[in-house]
Chain A
Amino acid sequence: MEQIQYYYFNLPIMRDALPTMLHGLGLTVLMALTTVAMGVGAGLLLAILRSYPSRWIRWPIICFVDVFRSLPQLVIIILIYFALPYAGIEFSPFWSTVLGLSLVLAAFAQESFWAGITATPRGQWEAATATGLSHTATVLFVVLPPAIKTSIPSLTNRIIAVTKGTALGSAVAVQELLAHAQSIQSVVANPSPLTLGALLYMAIFAPMVAFSRWLEWRYRWSR
């Protein structure tokens, strides 16, 4: 019992590690927020574009989405960080991670929004078309508002799943939460900083998970 406490819940070590780790936490949160903004924004844009009746728009979007839904996030981040420089394109570790995760989130968010768009009854499109609205106006003002509402539960789940991937940034040396936990852990030869890291991850993601539960619950009863 004491062994467990010493190795995993060593409070003095945790106390010393905390300031540095909070620094890492800040970067994790920053990466997560940037990823959400870029990924959800791009996903929404792609879903809107996909609704246009042109296969030259639709096809590339479907390809993009399927590629980024199937590649592991770590592979994408590593490719951006280690492979793109050979083509003369360089991103910092921070932006490699954020860009990689944003691409993945954009693909999944597109699917969520698209599901909402296709769930819109045909009569909504027809009523708008019959009153002379353009396709763009119909999508923006008639179809999207309810579609976004429909897509929120699945979108929230995706956001949680993808933003947790910020921990992968440690693989390309972003000094985020997990990277700090690992380096302190090797210095003090005690895994307690990792426990602290896990607790800090919980502190940011548990509220999001609770929020998504609440959303699902609310949606179930509002139908």
Chain B
Amino acid sequence: MTSAPVLQISDLRKSFGSEEVLKGVNLTVQRGEVVVLLGSSGSGKSTFLRCINRLEEPTSGSITLNGNSVTASNANLRTLRKQIGMVFQSFNLYPHLTALKNITLALRLSLGQTRQAAEEQAKHMLAQVGLAEKAHAHPSELSGGQQQRVAIARALALEPQVMLFDEPTSALDPELVGSVLEVIRLLRQRHMTMVIVTHELGFAREAADRIIMMDKGEIVEEGPPEQLFTAPKHPRTREFLKHFTGR
């Protein structure tokens, strides 16, 4: 059952002009697996995640989601994107809509749900991230941690096959980080397949099934957290861990 890969990425390359930012990345993510992506600033982590749902157009390589090609020229992108939940560092909530409407918008427009069904689903999602009572608040009335949890609920509501997190806690005050990580832990318990970019090494160690170390657009090392944290093989991994745990 765990052998069917949800995501299969092979030889993914991306260049911005003459700068090659991803230099042939291969990654297979199994159903229910939690993969944490580490790497210093500019190593290409965000670009990698954004290529998976083609917010960024890959230069070459192939990506499949449950066996369906995302990179094919005739891929039904809208359908595939609904199955790939994405959470951004800066939340990207719609400022003019309440928390509830932020969630119902895609339910209604992408899934074609009725208003009533969408609102029910949205309330359910808000309750899951502990914000049932904030349904009618606008983003500006929410803390960063609350906004990020609404953003997670918005992505989850579409019942995606995989969730991508791009530094979900980096824009948060330290005391708000915990509430967001708590939601991700909950998703892990429910066997949600996730690819997470984060600099929270403690969380990575505890929550990841596998850690990927990225450097200059390449995967330089990967393995289970214990192995990677206690016996890093690649010099860049050692340097990175020293830098981040030394703070």
- Which residues of A come within 8 Å of B, CB atoms? 121, 123-124, 126-134, 137, 141-142, 145-146, 149
Chain B 144-155 interface 0/1 with A at a Cβ cutoff of 8 Å (1 = within): 000000010011
Evaluate whether A146 and B55 lie within 8 angstroms (CB atoms) in the complex, with A123-B90, A141-B109 already known.
no
Min distance, Cβ B202 to any Cβ of chain A, angstroms: 27
* Interface residue from B85, B86, B95, B106 paired with A133 (Cβ < 8 Å): B106
Min distance, Cβ B41 to any Cβ of chain A, angstroms: 19
Evaluate whether A132 and B88 lie within 8 angstroms (CB atoms) in the complex, with A127-B93, A142-B105 already known.
no
Question: Which A residues are CB-close (under 8 A) to B79?
Answer: 132
Task: Give CA–CA (A130, B94) in the complex, Å.
Answer: 13
* Interface residue from B92, B96, B158 paired with A123 (Cβ < 8 Å): B92
CB-based contact B82/A132 at 8 Å: yes
- 6 of the cross-chain contacts (CB-CB < 8 Å) are A124-B94, A127-B154, A130-B155, A133-B105, A134-B78, A142-B105
Question: Which A residues are CB-close (under 8 A) to B158?
Answer: 131-132
> Looking at chain A's contact residues, is the secondary structure mostly helix, strand, loop, or mixed?
helix
CB-based contact B92/A132 at 8 Å: no
Evaluate whether A126 and B92 lie within 8 angstroms (CB atoms) in the complex, with A131-B158, A133-B110 already known.
yes
* Interface residue from A127, A137, A141 paired with B92 (Cβ < 8 Å): A127
Task: Give CA–CA (A123, B93) in the complex, Å.
Answer: 9
CB-based contact A131/B110 at 8 Å: yes
Residue among B93, B106, B110 with the most chain A CB within 10 A? B106
- Which residues of B come within 8 Å of A, CB atoms? 53, 55, 78-79, 81-82, 84-86, 88, 90, 92-96, 105-106, 109-111, 151, 154-155, 158
CB-based contact A124/B78 at 8 Å: no
Question: Which A residues are CB-close (under 8 A) to B94?
Answer: 124, 127-128, 142
Task: Give CA–CA (A149, B96) in the complex, Å.
Answer: 10
Task: Give CA–CA (A146, B109) in the complex, Å.
Answer: 19
Min distance, Cβ A219 to any Cβ of chain B, angstroms: 15
Residue among A127, A133, A134, A145 with the most chain B CB within 10 A? A127
Min distance, Cβ A6 to any Cβ of chain B, angstroms: 58
Question: Which A residues are CB-close (under 8 A) to B155?
Answer: 130-131
* Interface residue from A127, A130, A133, A149 paired with B109 (Cβ < 8 Å): A133
Task: Give CA–CA (A51, B170) in the complex, Å.
Answer: 31
Task: Give CA–CA (A131, B109) in the complex, Å.
Answer: 10
Task: Give CA–CA (A189, B155) in the complex, Å.
Answer: 75
CB-based contact A130/B84 at 8 Å: yes
CB-based contact A131/B95 at 8 Å: no
Cβ-closest chain A residue relative to B88: A123
Cβ-closest chain B residue relative to A138: B109
CB-based contact B78/A130 at 8 Å: no
Question: Which A residues are CB-close (under 8 A) to B111?
Answer: 132
Question: Which B residues are CB-close (under 8 A) to A130?
Answer: 53, 55, 81, 84-86, 155
CB-based contact A132/B106 at 8 Å: yes
**Besides A126-B92, A128-B94, A146-B95, 18 other CB < 8 A contacts?**
A121-B92, A126-B86, A127-B88, A127-B93, A127-B154, A129-B55, A129-B81, A130-B85, A130-B86, A130-B155, A131-B105, A131-B106, A131-B155, A132-B81, A132-B106, A141-B105, A145-B96, A146-B96
Question: Which A residues are CB-close (under 8 A) to B53?
Answer: 130
Task: Give CA–CA (A130, B157) in the complex, Å.
Answer: 13
Cβ-closest chain B residue relative to A148: B96
Task: Give CA–CA (A131, B155) in the complex, Å.
Answer: 7
Task: Give CA–CA (A149, B95) in the complex, Å.
Answer: 12
Task: Give CA–CA (A142, B105) in the complex, Å.
Answer: 9
Cβ-closest chain B residue relative to A142: B94
Cβ-closest chain A residue relative to B89: A123
Question: Which B residues are CB-close (under 8 A) to A149?
Answer: 96
Cβ-closest chain B residue relative to A123: B92
Question: Which A residues are CB-close (under 8 A) to B105?
Answer: 128, 131, 133, 141-142
Cβ-closest chain A residue relative to B84: A130
CB-based contact B110/A124 at 8 Å: no
Task: Give CA–CA (A131, B154) in the complex, Å.
Answer: 8
* Interface residue from A124, A131, A145 paired with B82 (Cβ < 8 Å): A131
Q: Which 6 A-B residue pairs are closest in the complex by CB-CB distance?
A: A131-B106, A132-B110, A132-B82, A123-B92, A127-B92, A130-B86
Min distance, Cβ A146 to any Cβ of chain B, angstroms: 5
Question: Which B residues are CB-close (under 8 A) to A121?
Answer: 92
Question: Which B residues are CB-close (under 8 A) to A141?
Answer: 105, 109
